[in-house]
Amino acid sequence: MNEAGVPEPREQIAGLTFALLLIAPDLTIAQVNPAAESMLGHSARRLVGKPFLETVSFADGRVRDKIFADEAQLVARGLPIRVDGRDLLVNLTLSPLVAHPGWRTVTLSDAGQGERAADEERAGALRGPAVLAHEIKNPLAAIRGAAQLVARKLPNEERALTSLITDEVDRIAQLIDRMQRLGREQPEPVEPVNLHAAVRRAVEIVTAADSSPVPLREEFDPSLPPVLANEGALVQVLINLIVNARDACRHVRNPEIVVRTRFVSGLARNVMRLGRPVKLPIEVQISDNGPGIDPALREHIFEPFVSSKKNGQGLGLALVSKLVRDMDGRIGHERDETAGWTHFRVHLPRAK
Compute the distance between CA of residue 352 and CA of residue 281 in angstroms, rounded to an integer: 12
Give the model's confidence band at 193: pLDDT under 50 very low, under 70 low, under 90 confident, else very high: very high
- Answer CATH for 191-348 from 3.40.50.300, 3.30.565.10, 3.40.630.20, 3.30.70.3460: 3.30.565.10
What are the distances in angstroms from CA 234 to CA 23, 194, 203, 213, 240?
41, 10, 12, 21, 10
Give the model's confidence band at 192: pLDDT under 50 very low, under 70 low, under 90 confident, else very high: very high
Mean pLDDT score, 164-178 = 73
Q: Could you state, in order of their start, the residue ranges of all structural domains in the chain?
A: 9-113, 116-183, 191-348
Give the model's confidence band at 317: pLDDT under 50 very low, under 70 low, under 90 confident, else very high: confident
Least confident of 88-92, 234-238, 267-271, 279-283: 267-271
Mean pLDDT score, 108-115 = 66
Output the pTM of the full model. 0.58
Model confidence pLDDT, tens digit, residues 260-291: 999 987 777 766 556 667 888 999 999 999 99
Give the model's confidence band at 50: pLDDT under 50 very low, under 70 low, under 90 confident, else very high: very high
Superfamily designation of domain 9-113: PAS domain (3.30.450.20)
Mean pLDDT score, 80-109 = 86
Question: Residue 229's CB: how many other CB atoms inside 10 A?
Answer: 29
**What pLDDT, on a 0 to 100 scale, did the predictor assign at position 133?**
59
